[in-house]
């Protein structure tokens, strides 16, 4: 989806959500047993896409979370 979005004409915003919060959701990365994000993370960094960490950048993951 990000490749398609980035390929269009004019300004584009590509946001890559990095699943890093094992407490409130799932954490998976380059070496996780759940999934591998090697290609996506490498491409996001190479193309200057915005990468956000669920653990570090999101206050709330699910609305049902107690605050």
Nearest CA-CA partner of 21 in 32, 11, 13, 12: 32
What are the residue ranges spanned by the domains of the chain?
Answer: 12-57
Instruction: Please tell me the distance from the alpha carbon of residue 20 to that of residue 47, in angstroms, as a whole number.
Output: 21
- pLDDT tens per residue across span 12-32: 999 999 989 988 888 888 878
Q: Are 33 and 26 spatial neighbours (Cβ–Cβ below 8 Å)?
A: no
Q: What is the pTM of this model?
A: 0.77
Q: What percent of the chain has pLDDT over 70?
A: 96
Residue 64: what pLDDT? 78
């Amino acid at each position: 989806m990000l490749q398609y979005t980035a390929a269009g004409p004019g300004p584009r915003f590509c946001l890559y959500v990095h699943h890093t919060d094992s407490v409130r959701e799932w954490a998976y990365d380059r070496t996780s047993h759940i999934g591998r994000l090697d290609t996506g993370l490498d491409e996001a960094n190479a193309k200057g896409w915005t990468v956000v960490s669920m653990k570090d950048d999101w206050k709330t993951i699910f609305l049902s979370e107690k605050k």
